[in-house]
């Protein structure tokens, strides 16, 4: 198999003047650097609209795009916004951190100005009408969901009046009439998002760069997906005759929610709170909703990383108590997922597609077998190879134990940066890493360099390194600290850091040296 490499960098972490990385000229310059240094892939994080906590893994829709990623400068060039308008609402006060509060207050009003100027002409725009028609299966529900959510002060849909929770036809019809301008704006914003993303995707392909996208296995509780399709999830329902006859399951509260059990990294486990799937129902439909979701993803990405892949084998269910979500994940249990039946259906519907299985964490023999049976490459994270808390599987992450059909990372979006990790681990673990590297002379603050080289020269067919680990950045540049709120998903790279010839010459040199040059 051909040896290749790529770099992990979220779109929102790109530099630029408007407070957040977006589909801008800086994204194109970044792609140019990837191509010139011999890379084959750009790996990003989910692109969906974010809510409380700003996590791309807790989105208001699994199909929609995040309007923060729309490039205002492109709208200026298209004549629907002025540069003064853009600069007035989105000054870049802190170029290394994203101020989500400010984005929330300013970005949507800015896009509404563009919408007001284009609204009368949208019916005459063939590409807009084509977008509406092609995405109607999810777009109508999403736009209505967000408009009603805004109308009720952005509270969760489970707190809306019952007639809107349960999607009573007369109630929704009245909202479609009352909120028509807002609904149309939501559709227009999605049109802008996908038009700009497709332009950027085409640019990447012209440079022979493929995009690795990321799909969370679960959807958010407060999302258009759960509101529009409650039958897909493990919710309590009422069983009155009317609902049975119409096949409609009225949501009252979740039966159980998703998470991870207690381990050496989290004494109480991880409580994610996502609703769990009603897998029996999905199977009866031929996994129709999932197939539409995957088809949508493969329009956006060349390769799909499936987060929490082991949930297709077994998933951890944390029971709700009288409909209330518990405070910790300690009381959960494992239940069987759809297994290989799901992936056979996927291949039958979509053909053979490129997938990366995120098989990290507690991995059982049955999970290993599922990954092997699918043929998808699993993931190897070098930091895990030297973690004394995980002695049972640490050896799996040592490069000499890799098979070729895997993807190696120094760390993921959930890990410390390598420089931060090396500083914080016990001396015994740091010495174990040095012994493995055969490197006793490199100063601690430069040890990230041979660590990156170790990943690049490993047997893994594909090596993907977070940009922070090429630069040796510390934990102030970390993307996420799991189970915390308030400081995550904020890091951005400075323009002079990113477009530094010394950095890209080093990346190109190691890429050639270890046979991964495109």
Query: What are the residue numbers of the active site?
Result: 307, 358, 414
Name the nearest CA neighbour of 248 among 276, 281, 290, 292: 281
47/412 Cα distance (integer angstroms): 17
Name the nearest CA neighbour of 415 among 377, 387, 394: 387
Task: Report the relative pairing of strands 41-43 and 4-8 from DSSP bridges.
Answer: parallel
Judge contact between 96 and 491, C-beta under 8 A.
Answer: yes
Task: Report the relative pairing of strands 314-319 and 256-260 from DSSP bridges.
Answer: antiparallel
- Residue 395, CA distances (Å) to 357, 382, 390 in order: 19, 10, 9
Q: Residue 95 is encoded by which pair of tokens?
A: 């170029």
> What's 233's DSSP letter?
B
Read off φ and ψ for residue 209, nearest 5 degrees.
-105, 125
Q: What are 408's strand-pairing partners?
A: 380, 463
Name the nearest CA neighbour of 20 among 112, 143, 109, 106: 106
Q: To 10 degrees, what angle do helices 448-456 and 501-513 make?
A: 40
Q: Which of helix, strand or coil describes residue 241?
A: helix
10/100 Cα distance (integer angstroms): 15
452/409 Cα distance (integer angstroms): 9
- Residues whose CB is less than 8 angstroms from the CB of residue 326 and which lie 6 or more positions away in sequence, other chains included: 271, 318, 319, 320
Place of tokens 């430069």: 446
| HSE value, Cβ hemisphere, 13 Å, CA-based, for 440 | 2
Judge contact between 360 and 381, C-beta under 8 A.
Answer: yes
Q: Residue 38 is encoded by which pair of tokens?
A: 């011999």
Please say whether the dihedral angle defined by the alpha carbons of residues 382, 444, 433 and 5, taken in this order, is positive or negative: positive
Judge contact between 198 and 291, C-beta under 8 A.
Answer: no
Q: Which of helix, strand or coil describes residue 41?
A: strand
Read off φ and ψ for residue 32, nearest 5 degrees.
-60, -40
Name the nearest CA neighbour of 489 among 90, 15, 55, 76: 55
Judge contact between 411 and 382, C-beta under 8 A.
Answer: yes
Place of tokens 């959807």: 219
Q: What are 356's strand-pairing partners?
A: 305
């Amino acid at each position: 198999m051909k040896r290749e490499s790529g770099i992990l960098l979220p779109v929102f972490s790109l530099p630029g003047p408007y407070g957040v990385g977006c589909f801008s000229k800086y994204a194109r310059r970044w792609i140019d650097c990837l191509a010139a240094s011999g890379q084959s892939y750009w790996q990003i994080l989910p692109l969906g609209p974010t809510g409380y906590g700003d996590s791309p893994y807790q989105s208001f829709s699994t199909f929609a795009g995040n309007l923060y990623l729309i490039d205002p400068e492109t709208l200026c060039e298209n004549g629907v916004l002025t540069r003064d308008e853009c600069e007035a609402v989105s000054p870049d006060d802190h170029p290394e951190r994203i101020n989500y509060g400010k984005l929330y207050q300013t970005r949507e009003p800015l896009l509404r100005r563009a919408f007001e100027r284009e609204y009368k002409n949208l019916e005459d725009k063939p590409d807009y009408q084509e977008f509406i028609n092609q995405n109607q299966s999810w777009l109508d529900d999403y736009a209505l969901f967000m408009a009603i959510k805004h109308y009720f002060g952005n509270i969760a849909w489970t707190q809306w009046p019952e007639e809107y929770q349960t999607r009573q036809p007369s109630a929704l019809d009245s909202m479609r009439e009352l909120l028509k301008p807002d609904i149309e704006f939501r559709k227009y914003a999605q049109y802008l998002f996908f038009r700009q993303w497709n332009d950027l995707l085409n640019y990447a392909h012209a440079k022979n760069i493929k995009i690795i996208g990321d799909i969370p296995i679960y959807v958010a509780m407060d999302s258009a997906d759960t509101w529009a399709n409650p039958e897909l999830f493990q919710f309590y329902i009422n069983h009155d005759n009317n609902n049975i006859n119409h096949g409609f399951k009225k949501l009252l509260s979740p039966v159980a929610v998703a998470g991870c059990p207690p381990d050496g990294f989290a004494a109480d486990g991880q409580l994610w709170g996502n609703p769990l799937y009603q897998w029996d129902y999905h199977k009866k439909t031929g996994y129709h909703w999932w197939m539409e979701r995957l088809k949508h993803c493969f329009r956006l990405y060349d390769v799909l990383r499936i987060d929490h892949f082991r949930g297709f084998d077994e998933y951890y269910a944390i029971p709700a108590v009288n409909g209330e979500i518990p405070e910790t994940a300690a009381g959960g249990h494992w239940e069987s997922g759809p297994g290989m039946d799901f992936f056979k259906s996927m291949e039958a519907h979509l053909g053979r597609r490129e997938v990366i299985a995120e098989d990290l964490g507690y991995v059982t023999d049955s999970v290993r077998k599922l990954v092997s049976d699918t043929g998808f490459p699993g993931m190897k994270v070098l930091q895990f190879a030297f973690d004394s808390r995980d002695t049972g599987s640490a050896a799996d992450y040592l490069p000499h134990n890799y098979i070729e059909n895997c993807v190696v990372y120094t760390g993921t979006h959930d890990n410390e940066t390598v420089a931060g990790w090396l500083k914080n681990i016990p001396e015994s673990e740091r010495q174990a890493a040095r012994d493995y590297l055969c490197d006793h002379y490199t100063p601690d603050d430069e040890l990230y360099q041979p660590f990156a080289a170790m990943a690049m020269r490993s047997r893994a067919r594909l090596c993907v390194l977070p940009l922070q680990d090429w630069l040796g950045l510390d934990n102030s540049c970390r993307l996420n600290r799991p189970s915390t709120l308030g400081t995550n998903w904020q890091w951005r790279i400075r323009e002079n850091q990113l477009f530094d010839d010394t950095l890209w010459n080093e990346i190109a040199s190691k890429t050639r040296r270890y046979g991964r040059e495109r």
